[in-house]
A and B are shown apart, each in its own frame.
Chain A
Amino acid sequence: DTAVSQTPKYLVTQMGNDKSIKCEQNLGHDTMYWYKQDSKKFLKIMFSYNNKELIINETVPNRFSPKSPDKAHLNLHINSLELGDSAVYFCASSPWGGDSSYEQYFGPGTRLTVT
């Protein structure tokens, strides 16, 4: 059983298109995250949701919009894709609150390539 899954694994698209990445976790966690890893492997948090409520919203272009239909799912929609959006996007989940919130479980990543 996959704990944190993401679809698709690879996404190749052209500039200007709109695309979505989906994430699901079956760990029963309350909190989910989106991270972006660039070509130099630098990892930066983008968003975090706790039980469908947005709790972390970093400085990210408003072309990126997360949506959490329930606490087990967190999707990322990207409008008007740009070349600089090419990266690996990771979803993660953790229990809510206290030290356990740092024990984050990561999905396998979605490699987005914008041409």
Chain B
Amino acid sequence: AQSVTQLGSHVSVSEGALVLLRCNYSSSVPPYLFWYVQYPNQGLQLLLKYTSAATLVKGINGFEAEFKKSETSFHLTKPSAHMSDAAEYFCAVSDQGDSWGKLQFGAGTQVVVTP
């Protein structure tokens, strides 16, 4: 079964600094990969997805992620953090060809933005 590992359960960044959230997947066959964001007391929202097209994927709110097969990684970045980026971020994976929408989520990374 596919799985993802998110390095760092808690990340603190200064406003205006780079945001880097790490995600590695475990599969010899590249899966579909996703980043979701959960703001406090809300449901999850899709930030971006990789489904075997361009390896650099741009999402909402200035976030982007790069799929690197050699590193089995799909790290999420944002050049300049805003206070509104404080949230929990989840990396998720699914098998290619599984059209039933079954996602396996990572453990999440909480992002704190300091002034």
User: Residues of A at under 8 Å CB distance from B?
Assistant: 4, 31, 33, 40-45, 48, 50, 55-56, 90, 92, 94, 97-99, 101-109
A56 contacts B43, CB within 8 Å? no
Give Cα A41 to B40, complex, Å.
12
Q: Which residue of B lies closest to A32 (CB)?
A: B101
A109 contacts B107, CB within 8 Å? no
A-B pairs with lowest CB-CB distance, top 4: A106-B43, A101-B101, A43-B105, A106-B44
Which residues of B are found within 8 Å of A48, using beta-carbon distances? 100-102
User: Given A31-B101, A40-B107, A48-B100, are A99 and B32 neighbors across the interface (CB < 8 Å)?
Assistant: yes
User: Residues of B at under 8 Å CB distance from A?
Assistant: 32, 34, 38, 41-46, 49, 51, 88, 90, 94, 99-103, 105, 107-108, 110
Q: Which residue of A lies closest to B43 (CB)?
A: A106
Tell me which of A31, A42, A103 contacts B49 (CB under 8 A): A103
Which residues of B are found within 8 Å of A98, using beta-carbon distances? 99
**Closest CB-CB distance, B7 to chain A, in whole Å?**
16
- What 18 new A-B contacts, CB under 8 Å, besides A44-B105, A103-B46? A4-B43, A31-B100, A40-B107, A42-B108, A43-B44, A43-B90, A90-B44, A94-B101, A99-B51, A101-B101, A102-B32, A102-B103, A103-B49, A104-B46, A104-B101, A107-B43, A109-B41, A109-B43
Give Cα A42 to B108, complex, Å.
7
Which residues of A are found within 8 Å of B44, using beta-carbon distances? 43, 90, 92, 104, 106
Which residues of B are found within 8 Å of A101, using beta-carbon distances? 99-101
Give Cα A48 to B110, complex, Å.
27
Give Cα A4 to B103, complex, Å.
18
**Closest CB-CB distance, B114 to chain A, in whole Å?**
21
A56 contacts B103, CB within 8 Å? no
A102 contacts B43, CB within 8 Å? no
